Structure 1
């Protein structure tokens, strides 16, 4: 082999052809020699960490033959020239290129730089020049057509290089093309006319998908595209959130627009950013979509309350439908729950949803429908069993309601029959009232907290209420019931000279209207004295009865002498058909288990007309001497009127603090943070305040996101109560006190 090297005399013009002959001879010679010394290579060379015969021949060929062939001066330029011909679609010596690269790969033993210096570096530099020149076509093509060109060139380059080059070089060649043709012009591709931002706005999934697939061939090349996508979502989300700002909280357009936005970008992400390997949407882009939408939603003031009010409206609509549920309505509810997953303040949503659920159940006095159950099941899936315990407790109360009411009715009928038999014998004169009550016992730990109402109900109602208390004590010994008349609903008949009306009213409205069976005009002071309704509550009741939409009573703005027992009482009478007042409070052992109940007989007639009365945020102001007279000319198109809807809605509203947070939710947050801090510190014994803050936020993320300031305040409170103490050597470290 040494003699062959000495006899080599190659001119530059023949170098391209001659190097292949020499390489073929060397490759054949090395294989034969390696076969001859096979045993020597396996035993001696391997045991003594020496080069094999084949490797020694390759090293000798590199240092002797290739030096004489002048690779860098004569052969490398020819190889790069042939590659450029291939890129331009011309005929080229592909066999020579493949042989050259194969030879460099074989002889690069103990010298990895040899392959890079004799081919790869020069190849990548020439590639960069070629693709930069090619990228000038962006000035004459639309962005979409230019991306088509890039994709075509990338596919060709990848196919071409894969056949003749090593895999690492193929990846570098693809990266060089992407950098030169895409990343070098990224500003124009993103911001130019018909660029990426325009594609996002117009939903051009094909063009975006093409750009995604071009960039996905390279490590970290997708980061600019991902950031641009997040910016666009954030911009669109903020526009939706700010569009209706300052208007009514139950802003249906906001929720519907946000649902539309989420659906639009979810479909867009699934289509435009589909991973070739998995066949699914890129997880990084899906995560970015969720995180950005979450950020937009939670920047909206009172987002949790708005969403709960929207869902309440849809569920009210569903409860008014027949057994066949509207598919559109069901879809809207499911979409709303998808948005709920993005909420951070889930506890606020829970408070408003629970209040709305209470209103819906108490107004209709029936068990939850299939859609309501679907909502609770979905909430349980998202937030866990503890989140829905109280909601399911409300459902259980209503399931027991009908059975208990039926048992009480049977008991009451037996007493009435017995009294009638005794009355015939002349042994008893007073009989039980003939109207019915339907009590609903509500466990206070499940239902929104209500302040016990104070009022004086009629004697007939008092007798039936007492009978129910006795009946209830036979079922549940040791429990105390407390009536919540402010949540009661009653049905009374309103007789006029022309028509008889059925009125669905609250218990407070009923007590006021029944006074007009004995008088045409009554002063505000006398109404207050006879009903004992709280002044603020009575003012709202009177506001509903004198409303221009109803005008059952007329407000007289001046004082005049009148008789409480008018000699000319109106012939229009209020007859109590079904009275109602809400129930009671239960106490067992040392646990104060309040329950509220109601008596009602609501009609689900299609002819019922719900009077939408707008109540002012502040109570109306009436003077003690104001007179309210009965409207003898009252008329209404519908026979069945629901006047209690607005009042019952108001009774179940939540008390909010100055920050707009439900007061009970605010209190619950403090208790929950305290419990988490104590439990964590008991486990760790000693923690830095920053670490403790992160741990508390992590554990509470499913319900709400407490601020570091709030956690710090609770830590200080626990320190004052001697649950924790500061470390004497480090004021930022706290210890648990057993």
Structure 2
């Protein structure tokens, strides 16, 4: 017997089939029972199993017929019935030794699955001819034969599919089995009908989309574009809902046939709706305009149908028409809208309102892009479009000098910040520089040359500087170009010179003088002397300091140092520092000699700042002044110690400051008759000093002296702090009665003061707020005919009273003298610079010499071109240099 699962690869010697026995066998895998019985009766032979029943049986070969993995798996045949046994003692005749069945050929082309399992039974065959050879073993295909016609089966299945699609496209209730339809499509695809199924599905779907979806939309062409868009979106939603069932039914075709061709049912369905409905010449422009109309309604202030617009954007993305149809049309309409809006708003609104409206428009457009997840290309192109029309093409309007000046005048930091931020979108923030520079120059020049408000110049400049610094930091985001413009403009207008009465017709810069006087006011008065507007601004600047991560603690010393730092910011812009030096030295001398400094630490701090800013050469004389004061204190301590050793008592408590003339400013010598007690004390000190320091001569400056005297008034005793001149005048009233008077002429002869100095002294004593003497007749001016008496009604709540000292205030004559001396020193410094240049260059042209001179003398103060030319001529006259034949200057050794 042969097994179908494990057929033998070759026939055994004992199982050969004679060649004359070869015949065709039926397709069944085994011989029927009736045929086996007829053959057994005809031949009366025994099988090989019976012949060799006494021998040991070998198992059949179970090797696989073919290594192909695609062969159908067949069931194993039923076990073979055991043949009847033959007695071992019965001998067999020779012709009965070998016998083979006549119908043992097996048809391998028939699957055992198509017929019931049967057992092949070997039968005994007569007339065995061993010499005829084996029969031929024929192996046929395993391919199953179709039971029905494939075309008929295709039509049967499609008929069911067609009915199912009709129900789906009508959105009716499903009355069929999706699994049955899925199996039908799978069988068709396995039988090679996938292409036909796909073609039929496309045709019926196209027909439905054209008639069932596009048809109703064409009937609504007369409606608004938004309504047509809404209907299209409804059709799109319906189509997607119906496609779910189509995907379920034709899933096998989608995953096998279409996938191999890089297609899918979803792509085919989307492409079908896009080509038939969306790309229809009548529907396409209306659908796109409907989406754009939603945006236009939102821009005009109407309520935007957010859900409709969001679903529309999703539909455009799904159909892949966003960038080809919607985006270009939307940008085209946006460009027209923005262009008209920019022209209208820029003409009708002021600059701050236009900037605010533009910022608001850009913000709303970008918010719409973010909310509805529009493409990045849309955001980019729309933003470029907005910036082009609102900023680039309106640049002249945005940087208009008059409008920017109005914002700066009103200190609208927020509006300026919006303006700068708007311009900076196109890197145009620095285009504000011309307007910014012009406003700074005009405002600063007006402050510097305002003759009526000279005393408030520094306060106004500090307020201006702080305002502009805040605008630069907060509004202009520390723009580098605008920061340079701010510094350059301050440097320009603060060094402008004009020969006016304020500078006594000299080329000196007024800011240098006023800065020195402002520093003197701070160092004399302390924190109380800081102007109110600067203090309030300082408190408001805490926020800015916090933004810069600076920790500021406001106490008295800190605030004074803060004010000094701000003054130094102005001082850095001044080129002619010689003017500042002259006035600062004079004021420092007054503070040191009269003890009017509010804080010694503040004085030292200011000196250190000046040294850092201008160098040690600039502050050498100032440092010497401080040293002289310290040495004077040691000298007075030594003098008083010696007087104590001698047990000598002084009638007055004398304190003397000995100064080196080279370091200190020059003060005028004013003749005055010193009272005898004071004169004796002065003479004793001179003897002591000359005995200690040989060859030195003391030159007394009584105009700088001050005194403390005790006065007895009818209403109480007081201690008066007065100047030396005031003390000399008051001492003349000691021996007078209550009704006695002294004439102006008598006071002049008794004090020996010049008329101008005497008039200022009497005015401070008799015409000020505190009046220890009375003027007759009353008035504010001192006349030679006036008479003076002791004020018997003088009183004050304080015991120690400070009488205003006129000499603490600079007079016009002193101011004029200082300016003229500075101008004269500048000429000497210019000549010295020219000589040094000529000595190093030997020969130089006029233009080069002027340029070098300006460069060298810039820090101390530069003369104008005419002044430099005059000093060159003076040096030629003094034979320091000469004119050459070529027009150049030659140095004369």
Give the shorter-chain TM-score range: 0.5 to 0.7
Could you tell me which residue of structure 2 aligns to residue 315 of structure 1?
523
Change (3 A) 1:476 1:143: same
Q: Which residue of 1 aligns with 2:889?
A: 734
Instruction: Find the counterpart in structure 1 of residue 342 from structure 2.
Output: 138
Q: CA deviation at 1:545?
A: 2.8
Aligned pair partner of 1:534 in 746, 754, 763: 754
Structure 2 counterpart SS, 1:516: coil
Q: 5 Å matches for 1:712-727?
A: 712-727=869-884
- The match for 2:203 is none
TM-score w.r.t. length of structure 1: 0.61
What residue is the counterpart of 1:371 in the other structure?
602
- In 2 relative to 1, CA 484–132 (structure 1 residues): closer, same or farther, beyond 3 Å? farther
What's the CA shift string for 1:218-244, capped at 9, x where partnerless? xxx6663322322343355456557xx
Three-state SS of the structure 1 residue aligned to 2:718 is strand
The answer to whether the aligner puts 1:473 opposite 2:628 as a matched pair is: no
> Does 2:433 match 1:226?
yes
What SS does structure 2 have at the residue aligned with 1:722? coil
**1:628 corresponding residue in structure 2:** 788
Partner residue of 1:305 out of 513, 532, 543: 513
Q: Which whole-Å CA distance do the structure 2 matches of 1:337 and 1:349 have between them?
A: 11
Counterpart in the other structure of 1:689: 846
Q: For residues 385 and 862 of structure 2, what CA distance do their matches in structure 1 show?
A: 45
Say whether 1:397 aligns with 2:636: no
* Structure 1 residue 208 corresponds to structure 2 residue 414: no
Counterpart Cα distance in 2 of 1:712 and 1:161:
71
Question: 1:455–1:651: structure 2 CA closer, same or farther, 3 Å change rule?
Answer: farther
Separation in 2 of the partners of 1:673 and 1:298? 18
Report the counterpart of residue 291 of structure 1 in structure 2: 488
Q: Deviations over 1:159-183 (max 9, x none)?
A: x9999xxxxxx9xx99999777633
Structure 2 vs 1, CA of residues 342 and 135 (structure 1 numbering), >3 Å: closer, same or farther? farther
Query: Which structure has the bigger radius of gyration?
Result: 2
Aligned to 2:651: 434
Partner Cα separation in structure 1 for residue 754 and residue 446 of structure 2: 46
Partners of 1:308 and 1:397 in 2: CA distance: 22
| Cα distance, 1:646–1:532 mapped onto 2, change above 3 Å | closer
Task: Describe the shift of the 1:630–1:229 C-alpha distance in structure 2 as closer, same or farther (beyond 3 A).
Answer: closer
Q: Secondary structure at the match of 2:645?
A: helix
Instruction: Give the whole-Å Cα distance in 2 for the aligned partners of 1:320 and 1:326.
Output: 11
Match of 1:645 among 802, 805, 814: 805
Cα displacement (A) at 1:439: 0.4
What are the equivalent positions in structure 2 for 1:705-716 lying under 5 Å apart?
Answer: 705-716=862-873
1:398–1:440 contact (8 Å) kept in structure 2: yes
Q: Distance in 1 between matches of 2:814 and 2:401?
A: 51
SS state of the match for residue 454, structure 2? coil
For residues 188 and 673 of structure 1, do their structure 2 counterparts lie closer, same or farther at Cα, with a shift above 3 Å needed?
same
Q: Does 1:262 align with 2:479?
A: no
Where relative contact order (Cα < 8 A, 6+ residues apart) is larger, the structure is 1
In the other structure, the counterpart of 2:825 is: 668
Please give the residue correspondences for 1:549-564 in structure 2 after superposition, counting only pairs within 5 Å: 549-556=769-776
Checking the alignment, whether the CA contact within 8 Å between 1:315 and 1:372 is kept in structure 2 is yes
In the superposition, relative to structure 1, how do residues 161 and 653 fare at CA in structure 2: closer, same or farther (>3 Å)? farther
The Cα of 1:290 is off from its aligned counterpart by: 0.8
C-alpha contact 1:552 1:634 (8 A) present in aligned 2: yes
Please give the alpha-carbon distance, in whole angstroms, between the structure 2 residues aligned to 1:137 and 1:319.
Answer: 55
Cα distance in 2, alignment partners of residues 548 and 198 from structure 1? 45
Aligned mates of 2:607, 2:881 — CA distance in 1: 38
Secondary structure (helix, strand or coil) at the match of 1:215 reads coil
Q: Distance in 2 between matches of 1:457 and 1:192?
A: 65
1:319: how far off? 8.4
Unaligned runs of 5+ in 1: 1-87, 98-126, 164-169, 275-280, 418-431, 559-612
Q: What's the secondary structure of 1:332's corresponding residue?
A: helix
- Whether the 8 Å contact between 1:365 and 1:398 is mirrored in structure 2 is no
CA 1:526–1:415: 2 relative to 1, 3 Å: farther
Corresponding residue of 2:765? 545
Query: How many Å apart are 1:722 and its aligned residue?
Result: 1.3
> Hey, what does 1:577 align to over in structure 2?
none
RMSD over equivalenced CA pairs, Å? 4.5
The 3 A distance-change label for structure 1 pair 368 and 721 is farther
Q: Is the 8 A contact 2:455 2:514 kept in 1?
A: yes
Unaligned runs of 5+ in 2: 1-294, 296-312, 324-330, 346-353, 503-509, 530-553
1:453 partnered with 2:670: yes
Q: Alpha-carbon deviations, 1:306-347, whole Å to 9, x = none?
A: 3322222222111889x9735444433322222222223322
Select which of 223, 230, 250 maps to 2:455: 250
Separation in 1, partners of 2:597, 2:341: 71
Separation (CA, whole Å) in 1 of partners of 2:635 and 2:593: 16
Tell me how far 1:386 sits from its aligned partner.
2.0
> Once the 2 structures are TM-superposed, how far is the Cα of residue 474 of structure 1 from its aligned partner?
4.1
* Partner SS, residue 579 of structure 2: helix
Q: Kindly tell me: are residues 444 and 509 of structure 1, through their superposed partners in 2, closer, same or farther at Cα, counting changes over 3 Å?
A: same
By how many angstroms is 1:635 displaced?
Answer: 3.4
Q: Which is worse superposed, 714-723 or 441-450?
A: 441-450
Closer, same or farther: CA 522–379 of 1 in aligned 2, 3 Å = same
Once residues 174 and 727 of structure 1 are traced to their aligned partners in structure 2, the CA distance between those partners, rounded to angstroms, is 68
Contact 2:462/2:567, CA 8 A, preserved across alignment: yes
Q: Which residue of structure 1 aligns with residue 31 of structure 2?
A: none
1:483 CA displacement: 0.8
Distance 2:405 2:680 in 1: 76
- Aligned in 2, Cα 1:555/1:188: closer, same or farther, shift over 3 Å? closer
How far apart are 1:651 and its partner, in Å? 7.2
Offset from partner CA, 1:542-600 (integer Å, 9 cap, x none): 33233253443344579xxxxxxxxxxxxxxxxxxxxxxxxxxxxxxxxxxxxxxxxxx
Are the equivalent residues in 2 in contact too, given 1:486–1:507 (CA < 8 A)? yes
* Structure 1 position 211, deviation (Å): 3.5
Task: Give the secondary structure class of the aligned counterpart of 1:527.
Answer: helix
SS at match of 1:436: coil
CA shift, 1:713, in A, is 1.4
Could you tell me which of 165, 186, 190 is aligned with 2:395? 186
